[in-house]
Structure 1
Amino acid sequence: MKKGVLLVNLGSPESTEVKDVKKYLDEFLMDERVIDVPYLLRVLLVKGIILNTRPKKSAKAYKRIWWDEGSPLIVLSKRLQNKVQDNVSVPVVLAMRYGNPSIEAGLKELHEKGVNEVLLIPMYPQFAMATTETILVLAEKIRQTKFPNMSFTILPAFYNQPDYIRDLSNSIQTELNNFDAEHLLFSYHGVPERHIKKSDVTKSHCKIDGSCCNTPSKAHEFCYRHQCYETTKQVAKFLNLKEGTYSTSFQSRLGKDPWLQPYTDATIDGFAKNGVKKLAVVTPAFVSDCLETLEEIGLEAAHSFKENGGEDFLTIPCLNDNDDWVKTLSRWIDQWAIQN
């Protein structure tokens, strides 16, 4: 068996042109694990409503954060891939759940290198139906139809792994060393509350009532909300943060159904209105900076904070191709590669 690694991140439009953004949003929003409603209703919502208005707005947002080299998410993911490849002895290939390079293209590249045992690494610290699960489902479908002789090993969610917590915490501390924050906000990507209950393997534990996430349960293995709060808890412990100086919120909601709360935008505005002058925000649901971190937090949230009375706003970068994170990821791969 020859081993190889497939790193899978979210994805990005090919460019900031409206047509490319529309194509990307079509693939993304038509995913049944992103908008989890019956197919015909999803078609009506996405193709009949959202794609008639949102692409222009999203294209403007992408233009605000686009780099000369291309999409920040893609550029940063490639940098990480290249650094990890330099540290390990097995092939490391990059793929995106939506857009290019596709998961099928990534598996094909590994296949052409003679790989038939793949370590599949969804680049999300916390498990969620709309992130990790959709990657695993699509990858397995492609494996069965295109590469039946391949086998997968899945890297589990690493939201509470000591090495990850250490690297994340140290990266946060490095930024805070030069910024005397009054409060540190952990902002995670939002999901509808129904996703939490759908992912509950016990079918009874997740109540989203403020206590279930702190009560031990098998449900926590796939509970995004629990895993987000646990990441915050572990980082706070590592950095010895005092109660009241940090909190957790959820961003990027869509539609009118209830999503995980508290909402990041309302939380940030609330801090400003209540006299907080220096706010730092970290986004641990992502390992690579992207539209949600660079534009939604770094530009929109920062502007809103200052408009409501805040003064200094710090967006803490994701781990990206941080050298310590590269070493950790490389070590995980090496540990897997030497197994029989």
Structure 2
Amino acid sequence: MEAKSDVGIILMNLGSPDSTAVPDVKRYLNEFLMDKRVIDYPYLFRLLLIRGIIVPRRAPKSAEAYQSIWWEDGSPLIVLTKQLQNAVQHDLQMPVEIAMRYGNPSQEYAYERLLAQNPGLKEVVLLPLYPHYAMSSYETAVEHAKAVHKKKGYNFKLTIIPPYYDQPDYINALAESMRPYVEQDFDHLLFSYHGVPERHIRKGDITGKHCLQVDDCCHVASPAHEFCYRHQVHITSELVAEKLKIPREKWSVSFQSRLGREEWLKPYTAAKLEELPKQGVKRLLVSCPAFVSDCLETLEEIAVEGKHSFIKSGGDSFTMIPCLNVHPLWVQAVVKWLGTSQS
């Protein structure tokens, strides 16, 4: 299709190292972990902690992990995001670019690519590929996109798609992508979401008195829910389970990828994978809806390490359900949102 000259699209994902080499992984981790919305300690303390302790210790291990899941074409997350870009581009009359919050291609690169194709660009529509609002994911992506836009003095308008954790098109796509797996015999479905520190949840509470302070806070109406990751992931899980008609006793929610010793959202996925076999769960399905593209956290942390832990603890079968990636209903939902988002 011939592209319009005045509107462009950017699909924004988390990012990945340029390669599995330790220096590239170290560079990526430094950028990622030094983000004040990821580790929100004072700058000097964060600098000493990240560059002096965490990254030097973590980079070699992370490089090995990336090597174990790296594809011939490169990082799975980058490859899958490009595939989504191509699928969306096929159905839209607007140019589509991708950007990563950390690493390449950068936000500025994506803006410049759109301008090169469309000198008369009037609007860029940004879709953060994070269904849920969290300070360390959706918020940092959006604020970074805004900051680059302002710093470069671009004349085009920036329009941002809000979180879509409860949007019918997203829920339908997620549920249908999972349906072939839940139609098989299984004992339990675990929704494993990327974890965040409890401090982040309290910090994002615009009321200052609701999140993690009120009993069953995620199900008690509050303005805080607009920015509450914990609330939003529970809603996603409930809506998907309802659509798939999975009884409440056959599914649960947990949180993975904990970093450091402070309290993060619980229950922890690692602990659940050890506990479930002891509770009679022998056939487990795991879905990771915080991610729309498979990546290190799904392909290695869950599909390899998580499976090993579950089987070692007495489980019989473990299946990680792939992320949405380029599922036709997901592509259809993205095209619909982008096609109707222009002002």
With the length of structure 1 as denominator, give the TM-score of the two structures. 0.97
Q: Could you tell me how far apart the structure 2 residues matched to 1:133 and 1:280 are?
A: 30
Amino acid at match of 1:289: D
Q: Could you tell me how far apart the structure 2 residues matched to 1:202 and 1:151 are?
A: 31
Match runs of 1:213-228 below 5 Å: 213-228=218-233
Match of residue 65 from structure 2: 61
Match of residue 252 from structure 1: 257
Using the TM superposition, name which of 82-91 and 111-120 deviates more.
Answer: 111-120
Match of residue 272 from structure 2: 267
Tell me the alpha carbon deviations over residues 163-210 of structure 1, each in whole angstroms, 9 at most, x when there is no partner. 110110011112223x31100000000000111111112222212555
Q: Could you tell me how far apart the structure 2 residues matched to 1:110 and 1:218 are?
A: 36
**What is the CA distance between 1:116 and its match in structure 2?**
2.7
1:195 aligns with 2:200: yes
Match of residue 133 from structure 2: 127
1:138 aligns with 2:182: no
Rate the CA distance shift 1:71–1:9 in 2: closer, same or farther, 3 A: same
State the number of aligned residues. Answer: 337
Q: Could you tell me how far apart the structure 2 residues matched to 1:180 and 1:188 are?
A: 23
Amino acid at match of 2:136: A
Q: Could you tell me how far apart the structure 2 residues matched to 1:52 and 1:332 are?
A: 41
Pick the aligned partner of 2:173 from 167, 171, 178.
Answer: 167
Q: Could you tell me how far apart the structure 2 residues matched to 1:305 and 1:64 are?
A: 19
Match of residue 85 from structure 2: 81
**What is the CA distance between 1:136 and its match in structure 2?**
1.2
**What is the CA distance between 1:30 and its match in structure 2?**
0.4
Rate the CA distance shift 1:167–1:251 in 2: closer, same or farther, 3 A: same
Tell me the alpha carbon deviations over residues 26-77 of structure 1, each in whole angstroms, 9 at most, x when there is no partner. 0000000000000000011101101211000101111111111100000000
With the length of structure 2 as denominator, give the TM-score of the two structures. 0.96
1:314 aligns with 2:319: yes
Q: Could you tell me how far apart the structure 1 residues matched to 2:213 and 2:7 are?
A: 40
Q: Could you tell me how far apart the structure 2 residues matched to 1:233 and 1:276 are?
A: 20
Match of residue 299 from structure 2: 294
**What is the CA distance between 1:218 and its match in structure 2?**
1.1
Q: Determine if contact 1:272/1:309 at 8 Å carries over to the other structure.
A: yes
Secondary structure of 1:184 counterpart? strand
Match of residue 160 from structure 2: 154
Q: Determine if contact 1:183/1:280 at 8 Å carries over to the other structure.
A: yes
Match of residue 30 from structure 2: 26
Q: Could you tell me how far apart the structure 2 residues matched to 1:51 and 1:241 are?
A: 41
Q: Could you tell me how far apart the structure 2 residues matched to 1:141 and 1:10 are?
A: 17
1:91 aligns with 2:95: yes
Pick the aligned partner of 2:336 from 327, 331, 335.
Answer: 331
Amino acid at match of 1:101: P
Q: Could you tell me how far apart the structure 2 residues matched to 1:33 and 1:284 are?
A: 21
Q: Unpaired segments of 5 or more residues in structure 1?
A: none
Amino acid at match of 1:77: T
Using the TM superposition, name which of 102-111 and 163-172 deviates more.
Answer: 102-111
Match of residue 276 from structure 1: 281
Q: Could you tell me how far apart the structure 1 residues matched to 2:213 and 2:21 are?
A: 39
Q: Could you tell me how far apart the structure 1 residues matched to 2:257 and 2:215 are?
A: 21
Q: Determine if contact 1:275/1:309 at 8 Å carries over to the other structure.
A: no
Secondary structure of 2:264 counterpart? coil
Secondary structure of 1:35 counterpart? coil
* Percentage of matched positions with identical amino acids: 52
Secondary structure of 2:175 counterpart? helix
Q: Could you tell me how far apart the structure 1 residues matched to 2:321 and 2:212 are?
A: 32
Q: Determine if contact 1:284/1:318 at 8 Å carries over to the other structure.
A: yes
Match of residue 237 from structure 2: 232
Q: Unpaired segments of 5 or more residues in structure 2?
A: none
Using the TM superposition, name which of 182-191 and 44-53 deviates more.
Answer: 44-53
For the aligned residue pairs, the C-alpha RMSD in angstroms reads 1.2
